Amino acid sequence: MEGPDATRVWRPEWPCAVRSTLAQQRRGAGDPTLRLAPPGERGPHWRASRTPAGPVTLAIESRGADGEVRAQAWGPGAAWALDQLPALLGAADDWTGFEPRHPVVVEALRRHPHVRIGRTGRPLEALVPTIIEQKVTGAEAFAGFRALVRKYGDPAPGPGAALGLRVQPSAEVLVGVPSWAWLGLHIDPARSRAVITAARRADALERIAAEEGAAEALDRALRSLPGLGIWTSAEVRQRALGDPDAVPFGDFHVAKDVGWALTGEETDDVGMAALLEPWRPHRGRVLLLLGAAGLRRPRRGHRASLRGHLPQV
């Protein structure tokens, strides 16, 4: 393996669960941009990304009794990615003002006190697969994203290419994908148009995401684009900004799961909004804790065709 372009050793102030925090960014087990070591192993975990400075391959692992995190980076984006490493692993996640309130959430927090929301700072990187996931099954969405990245993405720098990792296509490449090619990727015109529109606004979205307290501004910008709504905005804000208040209203499973976890009965989006309101601006954090605790209603009978998005760690 060729030597890295840059390295970093970082010592988090809490027991950082590297694998589960990185898994928040994964789009299915076959995600070509992310390869996680098996559960229980310290790594390395591999991630390919397109930074403002260019593509990068990251290898991240935790070592030592003090939870030291070591990272190696290859490619033009190496310095940028290593500078952002703590935020990617949850260091920017601010729990100030959060109160568990409900016995179920109290217990989830007791069992998972070190759960953190990571952030990539890259809205288009989060937006493209989220659009592809709109209104289709998980299997179809993941297959479409894999096909897009494998055909139009770039090989990851350094050892990433040998591992089969690829970087998502650039905004310029996405805009140039012809309509017939999207159909060959099993991505219908409504979703491909939304991806292209978003790619054309990529620079503006990146500028907004780089601002302090960008969640509300990014939400407005995303929801102003055709084909993007509250669900898509929440999914993007959670991954790109680590927004602790992001709630994917409109998801097929989330409201039912939250209602079951907190009241013992399924509910809808209206009911979930009422249940989560006391936790504002940490409503999304409640979903993360419930997901970490595995609190999902029992599935009975025919399985629904739409994939749920309760965060998993």
Residue 65: pLDDT band (50, 70, 90) is: low
Confidence (pLDDT) at 1: 63
pLDDT over 80 at 78, yes or no:
yes
Report the sign of the C-alpha dihedral through residues 100, 104, 106, 111, in that order: negative
Residue whose entry in the numeric block shows the structure tokens 């998005």: 309
Query: What domains are defined for the chain?
Result: 6-102 (3.30.310), 123-237 (1.10.340.30)
Give the pLDDT score at 311.
43
1-10, 48-57, 145-154, 168-177: range with lowest mean pLDDT: 1-10
Scanning the chain, the segments in alpha helix (DSSP H) are 18-23, 78-83, 85-88, 103-111, 123-132, 138-152, 171-176, 179-184, 189-200, 202-209, 215-223, 230-236, 254-263, 269-276, 283-292
Rg of the Cα atoms in the chain: 19
Chain-wide mean pLDDT for the chain? 91
Give residue 285's pLDDT: 96
Whether 169 has a pLDDT exceeding 80, the answer reads: yes
Identity of the residue numbered 281? P
Whether the CB-CB separation of 297 and 260 falls below 8 Å is answered with yes
Percent of the chain with pLDDT over 70: 94
pTM of the model: 0.90
Section 72-78 average pLDDT: 97
- Phi and psi at residue 41, in whole multiples of 5°? -95, 150
| 135 pLDDT tier (thresholds 50, 70, 90) | confident
Spatial distance between the Cα atoms of 231 and 118, rounded to a whole number of angstroms: 19
Buried b (16+ CB within 10 A) or exposed e, 156-190: bbbbbbebebbbbbbbeebeebeeeebeebebeee
Task: Tell me the C-alpha distance between 90 and 40, whole Å.
Answer: 19
**CA-CA distance, 130 to 168, in Å (whole number)?**
13
Instruction: Tell me how far the alpha carbon of residue 273 is from its chain's centroid.
Output: 22
Give the pLDDT band (50/70/90) at residue 305.
Answer: very low
Average confidence (pLDDT) over 148-153 = 97
Residue 308 has a pLDDT of: 43
Query: What distance in Å separates the CA atoms of residue 238 and residue 41, rounded to the nearest whole number?
Result: 26
Give 100-115 pLDDT, tens digit per residue. Answer: 999 999 999 999 999 9
Which tokens go with 201? Answer: 């606004």
pLDDT at 29: 86
